[in-house]
Homo-oligomer: A and B are copies of this chain.
Amino acid sequence: MTTQQLEAQIRLKKSFLCIGLDVDLNKIPQHLLATEDPIFEFNKAIIDATHDLCVSYKPNTAFYEAYGIKGWQSLEKTINYINENYPEIFTIADAKRGDIGNTSSMYAKAFFEDLSFDSVTVAPYMGKDSVEPFLAFENKHTIMLALTSNEGAFDFQTLETNGQELYKTVLETSKNWKNSENLMYVVGATKAEYFTEIRKIVPNSFLLVPGVGAQGGSLSEVCKYGMSENVGLLINSSRGIIYASNGTDFAEKAREEALKLQVEMEGILSKK
């Protein structure tokens, strides 16, 4: 999917919502455990109930790997289900990968070719040659960690380097990498003021924003400081939507939660 196609979907759906499919067997409705593939059945129901309210789904690979081969099968079925039924959806493999060049190429092949995701999240620590192999894929997107939403973000990401915080150096440096137009960035919502600084460095890039809702960030604050000319935001919500209920009405309740966010987003977009 191209960036323009994603932007068109945002305008069409009046939504820049991304739903995180972080499926934990201990948290899903227990009646699903009797099915052959509870993770897929859960995802399928959530997707069918919410696909018109969001522009993106983001399975976090950890939750699938934790169940071994069965989990990997559920992931494959999930991405195939989205691609076959809702090809307008921007899919994100939240994998946070990164390795030396030839190894990163294998990861890129895994997520972009074998699983046909539109994008994958990567970690920046190993630098240019660990990320460029992902950037080489046309119409695929590489979403690099810049400033994350967890407590540990302040261990290294905000350390002063070259007179500015590390995450800013990461943003700036990455702009010079080959095919950097395929870069997006992960920026947590915990401190909305950071977005002003970030937009000075990457005025137009898409930012994937976790931490709204369950982790405490405010949607309106993030939009106030972080929205670009073409929106440029994908706001992720996982637990707040997918675990809205653990009864048989889980998909319906997930839709209600997604709708609340979509309505709020529509309001923000209409004022733009």
Could you list which residues of chain A lie within 8 angstroms of chain B, going by C-beta atoms?
A: 22, 24, 60, 62-63, 65-69, 72-73, 76, 94, 96-101, 103-104, 106-107, 109-110, 114-115, 123-131, 145, 148-157, 159-162, 166, 169-170, 173
Tell which of B62, B104, B109, B149 touches A107, judged by Cβ atoms closer than 8 Å. Answer: B62
Please measure, in the bound complex, the distance between the C-alpha atom of A260 and the C-alpha atom of B13, giving whole angstroms: 63
Residues of B within 8 A of A148 (CB): 100, 125-126
Distance between Cα atoms of A152 and B104 in the complex (Å): 12
When the two chains form the complex, which single residue of B65, B73, B155, B173 contacts A156, counting CB atoms closer than 8 Å?
B173
Q: Judging by beta carbons under 8 Å apart, are A106 and B155 in contact? A: no
Q: Whole-angstrom distance from the CB of A169 to the nearest CB of chain B?
A: 7
**Contact: B150 with A129, CB < 8 Å?**
yes
**Known interface pairs A125-B125, A127-B152, A159-B161; A68-B72 also in contact (CB < 8 Å):** yes
Judge whether B114 and A150 touch: CB under 8 Å: no
Across the interface, A110 reaches (CB within 8 A) one of B65, B76, B161, B166, namely B65
Note all chain B residues with C-beta closer than 8 A to A124: 125, 155-156
In the complex, chain B residues whose CB is within 8 Å of the CB of A67: 114
Tell me if A156 and B107 are in contact (CB < 8 A).
no
State in angstroms the CA–CA spacing of A177 and B96 once bound together. 22
**Please, which residues of chain B bring their CB within 8 A of the CB of A63?**
103, 106
User: In the complex, are the beta carbons of A156 and B170 less than 8 A apart?
Assistant: yes
Question: Does A103 lie within 8 Å of B161, measured CB to CB?
Answer: no
Q: Is the CB of A99 within 8 A of B154?
A: no
- A104 contact from B62, B69, B114, Cβ within 8 A: B62
Can you name 12 extra interface pairs (CB under 8 A) apart from A68-B114, A129-B150? Answer: A24-B106, A68-B115, A69-B72, A69-B76, A96-B98, A125-B125, A125-B156, A127-B153, A127-B154, A128-B152, A159-B166, A160-B161
